[in-house]
Structure 1
Amino acid sequence: MTTLFLMVGLPGAGKTTRARQLAGEHGALRLTPDDWMLPLFGEAEPDGKRDVLEGRMLWLALEAVKLGTDVVVDFGCWSRDERSAIRWLVEAEDACFRMIYLPVDEETQRARIAHRWATAARETFPMTETDILRGRAHFEEPDTAELAGRAAAGPPSGGWREWAADRWPSFA
């Protein structure tokens, strides 16, 4: 069965490293916005363009799944609603959804971010202490049900497709 692997976690958790491994193991298309943001825009969050890029990547991921190609989506997906919407969209295509959650403690996160900046600054974005703390405060850790493969939430009024189109403007 065609599978979409969704990488979930904070910066420095090892998502992209694991995404590369999964893509190699499964012959999957890997979609990582960070690989595109610097070459296209020179920064991580230029005027909301990341949401636009993620929307097109999500659309592409679903097109690939329809064609029988496994996909690794490496967005981080900090919110339960994002993860629930993607799960629903994938399962609506009769494909398998696998969430790969990589937790990371604060000390390890800071060390990995510092190492990445020191060794690959041209391939990454600077992160301040404020960025790290803000991310940790906003991240909604997957609960037991979500980790067991059950949707975290029911669809909002209008449904998950409409929610996704609002969250990622270029998805629709």
Structure 2
Amino acid sequence: MTTLFLMVGLPGAGKTTRARQLADEHRALRLTPDDWMIPLFGEAEADGARDVLEGRMLRLALEAVRLGTNVVVDYGCWSRDERSSIRWLTRAEGADFRMVYLPVDDRTQRARIAHRWATTPEETFPMTEADIQDGRAHFEEPDAAELAGHGTAGPPPGWTDWRAWAAHRWPSFA
């Protein structure tokens, strides 16, 4: 069965390294926004361009699994709703969904971010202490049920389905 692997974790957790391994092991298309944001815009956010890019990548990922190609989506996906929507959309395409969560402790995260910036600054973005703290404050760690493969049953209140929610979250997904 075709599989979409979703990388989940904070910066410095090792997501992209693991995503590369999974892509090699499963002959999968790897979609990593940072690989595109740096050459296209030179920054991580670029006035909302990241959300637009992620939406287009998500459409491509779903088309690829529909065509029988494994995909590794390397977004980080800090929110439970993001993860639940991608899980639902993947399964709606008849593909298997595997969340790959890579936790990272505070000290290791900081060391990896500093090392990455010192050794490959052309492949990463600078991160301030405030950026790191903000990420930790907003990250919704997957719970046992989510790690076992169960996402939120339905979309948040006010949304008819996960596809509509995803189109709002990633405007170019619609």
Report the TM-score when normalising by structure 1: 0.99
Q: Name 2:63's counterpart in structure 1.
A: 63
* CA distance, structure 2, for counterparts of residue 88 and residue 65 of structure 1: 13
For residues 147 and 153 of structure 1, the distance between their equivalents in structure 2, rounded to whole angstroms, comes to 14
Q: Tell me which stretches of 4 or more aligned residues in structure 1 moved more than 4 Å.
A: none
In the alignment, the residues of structure 2 paired with residue 129 and residue 12 of structure 1 have an alpha-carbon distance, to the nearest angstrom, of: 13
> What is the match of residue 15 of structure 2?
15
Map 1:66-77 onto structure 2 (within 5 A): 66-77=66-77
% identical equivalent positions = 81
Structure 2 counterpart of 1:101: 101
Q: Report the Cα offset of residue 170 of structure 1.
A: 0.3
**Which residue does 1:118 correspond to in 2?**
118
Deviation at 1:124, TM superposition (A): 0.5
How far apart, CA to CA, are the structure 2 residues paired with 1:98 and 1:27? 15
Aligned length: 172
Deviation of residue 158 (structure 1)?
A: 1.3
Report 1:47-58 matches (<5 A): 47-58=47-58
Q: 1:77–1:83: 8 Å Cα contact kept in structure 2?
A: yes
Secondary structure in 2 matching 1:6 = strand
2:145 match: 145
Which residue type is aligned with residue 99 of structure 1? Answer: M
TM-superposed deviation, 1:153: 4.3
- In the alignment, residue 116 of structure 2 is paired with which amino acid? R
Ranges in structure 2 where 5+ consecutive residues have no aligned partner: none
Report if aligned partners of 1:81, 1:153 keep a CA contact under 8 Å in 2: no
Q: Which residue of 2 aligns with 1:45?
A: 45
Distance 2:92 2:14 in 1: 29
Structure 1: gaps spanning 5 or more residues: none
Matched residue, 2:33: 33
Structure 1 residue 154, shift from structure 2 partner: 2.1
For normalisation by structure 2, the TM-score amounts to 0.98
